Structure 1
Amino acid sequence: MSADTNSDDTSSADTNSDGTAREAREPVTVFLVDDHALFRAGAKAELESISDEVRVVGEAGSVAEAVAGITRVRPQVVLLDVHMPDGGGAEVLRRLRTDLPDVVFLALSVSDAAEDVIAVIRAGARGYVTKTISSAELVRAIVRVADGDAVFSPRLAGFVLDAFAERPGSEPISDPELDQLTPRERDVLRLLARGYAYKEIASELFISVKTVETHVSSVLRKTQLSNRYELSRWATDRRLV
């Protein structure tokens, strides 16, 4: 993330980070998640020095710390790293999206790989920007996602369109979590997400109830989810239903 250096003060209380007039509003509360402490410190200093539109209220360097801290602080926006030693942004989202639906997640990463973008967006992030973004642009991105917009670095928007709009001729984007399921496990998951009982799934697929239970257990293990409700949401996010 590059710092903007401008001798003119455009971060007063009555202007946006781009210098335009704005109505008075409370700063957007932000939580930083990144496994590099130096980056977190630099990001916090830059964000708060150039604009009063955002206020950093917490930070974490691991998935476990992020889950605990975000749950405690309840920020408006989480700046979320995609790759961390004990998991990544998608794992943080998986643990928090159901319980904290009002918290908005914006991925901020060095990676611009299609699979990383799609994985974290499918998990529930509202946008994805790379760390080459300027401080002023990042402030605008934070404010926009807090206001309900989706924000992507220009090159990355095409990945999302290809994956979710299913445009003719577009290359399919792989989803590592989905790819680990067998075709039969996907069939069972699809029916489960539609509200079928185990007995109904067994009848529909011409297998035993015990086999259905085995497939569901396998899907729960592979996705690291804990119940039918979470599986249904997971399947819906991946457009299996």
Structure 2
Amino acid sequence: MSVTVVIVDDHDVIRVGVRESLDAGIDVVGEARDVESAIAEVRAKAPQVVILDVHLPGGTGGGALDVLAEILHRPGAPRVLALSVSDAADDVVATVRAGARGYVTKSISGPDLSDAVRRVAGGDAVFSPRLAGFVLDAFGAAGGEVAAADEDLDKLTEREQEVMRLIARGYTYREVAEKLFISIKTVETHVGKVLHKLQLSNRHELAHWAAQRRIV
């Protein structure tokens, strides 16, 4: 079943790029370039998901926050995935507080963006790995401590947990290797074991798993 989407960005080339990056199972039903046209398009097309640039012209100057304030209080409101060049903590936290279900940066690949759209449509909260920590910190997560016993976490060795936390925060394999003074190959081995033990498919699922448990 396809997911209907409205793309909101003030740059034509970005909207075109996003539209062409989404796979065939996602149906772009509308586009908008500023606050006013975004609100009108969402009301007219009633998409399941809005891919929303954070910094938009128009409105009261709040950009995406103005759009969120207008579209989320209505019955049948869409879910919103913020897509931005900004990875600043203030932007991420403000957008999530305003009601966005996810926040990813424009460096995301097409397949990952399509996956993020589907997950947001299904009710998941989705963040680029490096941004999850901002959200957890802002909403009172326990700064990397496990809040309660977790059977899945107990499956991992101490070293695997170290690697898992760094990968979930968005570190590359090379950065993890340098930080833990191990080889990249060893990092790859640990990540493979972590994914197998937790029955996850990739690092994005791992980041979501860790964020849900407040352990990144």
TM-score range, shorter chain: 0.5 to 0.7
Q: What is the rounded CA distance, in whole Å, between the counterparts of 2:11 and 2:143 in structure 1? A: 40
Structure 1 segment 1-241 matched on structure 2, within 5 A: 26-47=1-22, 51-86=23-58, 87=61, 88-167=63-142
Cα 1:112–1:100, aligned 2, differ >3 Å: closer, same or farther? farther
Q: If you compute each CA radius of gyration, which structure gives the higher value, 1 or 2? A: 1
Unaligned regions of 5+ residues in structure 1, if any?
1-25, 170-241
**After TM superposition, what 4+ stretches of structure 1 lie above 4 angstroms from structure 2?**
none
**TM-score normalised by structure 1 residue count:** 0.56
Report the Cα distance in structure 2 between the residues aligned to 1:168 and 1:136, rounded to whole angstroms.
31
Q: Which moved more, 1:27-36 or 1:95-104?
A: 95-104
2:38, 2:16 → 1: CA distance?
16
In structure 2, the gaps of 5 or more residues are 145-216
Report % sequence identity. Answer: 55
- 2:166 corresponds in structure 1 to none
Contact 1:105/1:126 (8 A) holds in 2: yes
Aligned residues between the structures: 141
| Distance (whole Å) between structure 2 residues aligned to residue 76 and residue 133 of structure 1 | 21
What displacement does 1:46 show?
A: 2.2
Q: What is the aligned partner in structure 1 of residue 158 from structure 2?
A: none
User: How far does residue 165 in structure 1 lie from its aligned partner after superposition?
Assistant: 1.9
Letter paired with 1:55: D
**How far off is 1:29 after superposition?**
0.4
Cross-structure match for 1:203: none
Cα drift, residue 75 of structure 1: 0.1
